[in-house]
Amino acid sequence: MTAASNRAAEVSVDLVDWEDPDATRLRDAQQVELRDLYGDDDIGHGMTGESIVAMVLVRVGGVPAACGALRDVSDQQGAGVGELKRLYVLPTYRGRGLSRLVVADLEVRARAIGFVRLILETGVLQPEAIGLYLTSGYLPIENFGEYAAEAASRCFAKDLHATPRRSTATRDAAGTTAPPDDDLPTRVRHAVTLRAVGWDDPDAVRLRRAMFDEENLPRYPELGQAIERRGGYAAHDASEGTGALTTLIADVDGEPVACVTLRAAGPGVGDHAGELKKVFVRNQARGLGLARTLLAEVEVEARARGLHRLVLHTGRRQPEAMTLYMSSGYRPVPLYPPHVGDALAMCFAKDL
C-alpha cells in the first residue's frame, strides 16, 4: 500500500473550537440539507456556541468529513444532562461508520465531564439517524424543550451509567423459557401452537381488545379519545381489518395469548408490500419468544403471497417493540400514509 493510500485511510477525531472553520462549514451544510428535506429551517438553526462543551471534527485522510457537538442542558433538563447536537456526515463519506464514531466519542467526553444522561432530537424524515440512535442504545422519550409541539420531531435519551440486565434464563428450540441451570430439574415446558384465522375470529377479536385495553390505552390515552370521536372502538377495529389477509394466533397450553395480522399495504407504501398489524403478546405469556416466532411465521406467509416488503408502525412510547423490530431486521422508514403527520408514530420496514 502506498503512502498516499495509507493517508487516505486515516481517520482522526479531534476536539475543535465551535467556530473552527471546517466545523462551521459542516454545520452549515447540515442546515442546507435539513432545509431541503423539510422545506423550512431547522428549529434550532440559529444555535450558537453557548453551552457547547465539546465540538468534535472527524477527518478522513485529512479531509473534514463529519462532526458532532455536546451541549450542557442541565439548567433546562436536570442535573447531569447533556444534549447531542449537529451530528452530521458529508454525503460522500456516509456508510463508513463515521456517525457512530462521533456518537461514541461524544459519549466518552460526556462521561468525563460528569454527564449521566444524553438526550437528542432528530426528524421523521431521517430514518437512518433514528436507526443509528436506536442501535446505539438511545430510547424514545417525549419531545422536550423547543421540540415539544413539533410533530416531525422524535427525541431520544440514553443513561450513560445504566448497566444492561443480563438474563440468566435460557430458551429451548421451541421457544420455551427455562430457568438457570441450577433450576433445570424444575423446568416448565409449554405447548405452543400457531394457527391461521380470519380477522373476525373470536379469539383474534378478544386478543385485539386486550391489546387496546392493556397496552394502547395506558400508554396513549389520547388515542382512546380520538377513537371515541371517530365512532368508538368497534368502528376503529373494523377499519383496522380492511385488507386483512390472515391473522396468526399463538396458543400456549391451549390458551390464545398472542397474535399478528398481515394485511395488504395501503397507498403510498409501494407495490408488492404488506403491512403488519396488531403484534401483541399478553403479559402472562411474555418471555416465551412468541412475538419473534409470530414475526418469523408471518414473514413466511408474506413471501408465499408474493410480497417483497413488510411495513409496520408502532408508537414512540413502546421502546421494547422497537427493540424487537430492529433485532428482527426491520429498519426505520419515513412515516407512510395514514401516519404522516402523526406526532406519536414510528414506522419500520423490512425487505423480504
| Per-residue pLDDT, 162 | 56
| Structural domain boundaries, residue 346 | 180-351
User: Which residues face 275 on adjacent strands?
Assistant: 263, 311
In 3D, which of 247, 251, 230, 248 has the Cα closest to residue 239? 230
Residue 171 C-alpha from the chain's centroid? 25
Domain-embedded: residue 193 = yes
Domain-embedded: residue 172 = no
How many Cα atoms occupy the beta-carbon half-sphere of 335 within 13 Å? Answer: 19
Assess whether 342 and 210 both reside in one domain.
yes
pTM: 0.85
pLDDT one-digit tens code per residue, 224-250: 888 999 899 999 999 999 999 999 999
Give the dihedral of Cα atoms 151, 322, 332, 328; nearest 10 deg.
-170
Domain-embedded: residue 175 = no
Assess whether 152 and 26 both reside in one domain.
yes
Residue 161 has pLDDT above 90, yes or no: no
What string of DSSP letters covers 258-289?
EEEEEEE--TTS-TTEEEEEEEEE-GGGTTSS
Domain-embedded: residue 167 = no
pLDDT one-digit tens code per residue, 172-203: 433 444 444 444 344 568 899 999 999 999 99
Domain-embedded: residue 259 = yes
Assess whether 251 and 298 both reside in one domain.
yes
Domain-embedded: residue 13 = yes
Domain-embedded: residue 225 = yes
Assess whether 192 and 334 both reside in one domain.
yes
Assess whether 221 and 341 both reside in one domain.
yes
Residue 6 has pLDDT above 60, yes or no: no
Strands 117-123 and 81-89, by their bridges, are parallel
Query: Considering 128, 159, 190, which residue would you say is the last residue of a domain?
Result: 159
Tell me the C-alpha to C-alpha distance, in Å, between residue 94 and each of 97, 100, 245: 7, 11, 39
| Per-residue pLDDT, 187 | 52
Assess whether 285 and 242 both reside in one domain.
yes
How many structural domains is the chain composed of?
A: 2
Phi/psi for 214 (5° steps) reads: -90, -30
pLDDT one-digit tens code per residue, 201-216: 999 999 999 999 999 9
Assess whether 129 and 190 both reside in one domain.
no
In the chain, what is the greatest distance between 2 CA atoms, to the nearest angstrom? 71
Place of cell 422545506: 39
| Per-residue pLDDT, 48 | 87
Place of cell 473550537: 17
Say which CATH number the domain at 196 has: 3.40.630.30
CA–CA gap between residue 257 and residue 111 (Å, rounded): 43
pLDDT one-digit tens code per residue, 259-293: 999 999 988 888 899 999 999 999 999 999 999 99
